[in-house]
Amino acid sequence: MAVSRAADRAREGDGPTLLEFRTYRYKGHSMSDPAKYRTKEEVEEYKQRDPIEVVKRTIVEKKFASEKELEAIDHRIHEKVEQSVKFAEESKYPDPSEALRDVYVQSDYPYITD
């Protein structure tokens, strides 16, 4: 409902909308965190409510795409991410002067100092 309203608002030219999505972290905070502070039942309950999984189920149920088509999309995304990581790892570090480039819309923002 909120996403639909935000999309309509944007289409009408009223600008962007900030949406908050609450999700659940299935794994521990790090590789060394076994996450024993949650039960398997709790994790499984949240997996069923996972927004990405809910959307995937809806897409398949409404026949917008098949499971096989979604897997192909996931595969293309994975390949793109791998290419992006490779590009980033092989690229030179940017010039430090780029750190604030395009961060602020207002060019005379009072807290930017050269």
Q: Is 75 a catalytic residue?
A: no
Q: Is 24 a catalytic residue?
A: no
Q: Is 37 a catalytic residue?
A: yes
Tell me what percent of the residues of the chain surpass a pLDDT of 90: 54
Is the pTM here over 0.75, yes or no? no
Rounded CA separation 17/6 (Å): 6
pLDDT digits (tens, 9 = 90+) for 32-65: 888 888 898 998 998 888 888 899 999 999 999 9
Dihedral angle of Cα 34, 40, 44, 50, to the nearest 10 degrees: -30
Judged against a pLDDT cut of 70, whether residue 87 lies above it is answered with yes
User: Can you give the pLDDT at residue 113?
Assistant: 63
With a CB cutoff of 8 Å and minimum separation 6, the contacts of 27 are 33, 35
pLDDT digits (tens, 9 = 90+) for 2-13: 999 999 999 999
Catalytic residue among 22, 37, 93, 111: 37
Question: Residue holding tokens 């098949």?
Answer: 66
